[in-house]
Amino acid sequence: MARSLNTPITDEGLTSVRFFNGRVLSSADLEAEQQAQRRRRAQLGRAQGTGIVNGLRVQAAPGAAPTALRVTKGLAINRAGHPVELFVNVEVSVVDAAIDIVPSTSGDFMACEALPSVTATGTGVYLLVACPATERREQAPRVAMGDGDRAGSCGPKYQVEGVRFRLVHLDPSDDRLVPEVLREPIRDLMAQSSLSPAARSCRRNLLAHWCLGTAEARRAPANLYERLHLGASPEAEPPHYGPLDALRTPEQEGTHPLLTPHDVPLAIFVWEDDRVTTVDMWAVRRRMHRLSGAPEPATDRRRAEGEAAFWQFQAHVAGLAQHEPSGDLLDVRLTDYFRFLPAVGLVPLVNSEGTPGVQPEMFMAGYPARSPVVAEGPRVAPLIAHAAWTPAVDLTQETALRLYRIRENAAARSQPATVPERPTAPPIPYLMLASGYLPRIGDARYDLAHWDFAHYPDPADG
């Protein structure tokens, strides 16, 4: 039935307590008012977006065979709009769990239904999530109405809000979670009992880009007209893709999803040989971003995922330099260690300072890429910003890559006196890899100060 104009429509509306002099207030009334305030704050939280505000960084706990994860204090906003804040640094065991629970959808963070708990058992990929939790502390006397000042019993004095961690199993054998193009390579690597350093690196790379939705991002432009034709708009339901979205959808009608709007993904890790390995935050960690139904390549979520892909690659490269150097030379070949690259990434170059780095010809062997050219530093940040919107590079497709040396980086090492406010120690030299789909920043130029920073146009670039 159509509603009349000027008629208040309050169906499922936010209910708060109406106060007046002489009214008798019960605990239910005060709880209803607290609930209304929580819902108002959740509305503001959803307007701001979802993701990690600061902190909540995850790494394997110290030890030869870690069975716990270390999580730093920090703040996030979940999809329900609720804050998820950890006030202290903690270590979380992945092999010990109480009965797992789903946070109440009413917004008061109390437990409502029990689910089977998940712990790390057997080789597999696991997702660590955080969600709000409450704990009641201390006791306060309770006086029944009509009993005068006598306290006949006690009740909880305080309700303290905090965080609860749990694991979700990311099963590569579940076709619902894994796009077809990644099923075979991921399952083959997960089935192997012993992996070489290159295969271990490829596994980390594939798992990260599985969670980053790279396969779906590369397909998104193909169906853009269909999405627009079907009425997509910034206010429409945001597109669903990737394993985390699949986990947010109940597998069968009447069942609970494994991920709820209250959960904030923090990191994935591989459990093998009775220990935590390959902890990767940026595979699932996202900065604050809004969810919307805008055309998929242009959503804030895609931009956040592009930024995460950049940080994931940098963390991955730093891990290689830490664990697998051959002296000062990082003996790594691009196509052996990676399947996907972000649209822009930086790799350290071998140098005399003792920091492990790659040798460009060795690193790029077998892949079509032009020789490095020199680019100006002020052009780097805009390129990285542009790259956040650009899909990752699938190395099996031999997408063209451009290689850059950054003038300020090279000059600070070779002619430090020419660089204003130069650092006291020479910076680590690096090579920047950029997708051929990004604008070129290495335009032909003649450097009047240093002939070795000049270069000529490449006819192949058109």
Could you report the per-residue pLDDT of 357-410, keeping only the tens digit for each?
888 988 998 888 878 888 888 899 999 999 998 989 999 988 889 999 998 888
**Residue-level pLDDT at 111:** 40
What is the predicted pLDDT for the residue at 148? 59
pLDDT, mean of residues 443-450 = 54
DSSP 340: E
Q: Is the pLDDT of residue 155 over 60?
A: yes
Q: Does pLDDT of 138 surpass 90?
A: no
Prediction pTM value? 0.84
Greater confidence (462 vs 81) lies with 81
**pLDDT value at residue 77:** 93
Tokens representing residue 112 in the block: 């409502």
Tens of pLDDT, residue by residue over 82-114, are: 999 999 999 999 887 765 555 444 344 444 344
pLDDT, residue 54, reads 94
Look-up: residue for tokens 């708060």?
16
Region 112-131: mean pLDDT is 76
pLDDT, position 189: 92
3-state secondary structure of 47: helix
Q: What is the pLDDT of residue 50?
A: 93
Of 67-76, 247-256, 365-374, 450-459, give the lowest mean pLDDT range: 450-459
Q: Which of 49, 52, 91, 85 is nearest to 69 (CA)?
A: 91
Is beta strand 111-115 parallel, antiparallel or unpaired with respect to 430-435? Answer: unpaired
The pLDDT, as a whole number, for residue 125 is 93
How much of the chain exceeds pLDDT 90, in percent? 37
Region of poorest pLDDT, from 13-22, 48-57, 102-111, 379-388? 102-111
The DSSP secondary structure of 74-119, one letter per residue, reads EEEE-TTS-EEEE-S-EEEESS----EEEEPTTTT--EEEEE----
Confidence of residue 59 (pLDDT cuts 50, 70, 90): very high
| 319: nearest Cα among 277, 273, 275 | 277
CA dihedral 116, 119, 124, 127 (to 10 degrees): 80
Name the pLDDT band for 145 (thresholds 50, 70, 90).
low
Cα distances (Å, whole numbers) of residue 125 to 73, 203, 208, 218: 24, 11, 11, 24
Dihedral sign from CA coordinates of 380, 386, 392, 398? negative
Confidence (pLDDT) at 107? 40
CA dihedral 5, 8, 13, 16 (to 10 degrees): 160
Q: What is the mean pLDDT of the chain?
A: 82
Scan for tokens 């290159």, then name that residue: 198
Determine how β-strand 393-394 pairs with β-strand 430-435.
unpaired
426 pLDDT more than 80: no
Q: Which carries the bigger pLDDT value, residue 38 or residue 298?
A: 38
Instruction: Give residue-wise pLDDT tens across range 157-170.
Output: 777 788 899 999 99
Out of 26-35, 114-123, 198-207, 305-314, least confident range: 114-123
Distance CA 408, CA 380 (A): 11
Residue 451 reports pLDDT greater than 60 = no
Give the residue-averaged pLDDT of 21-46: 83
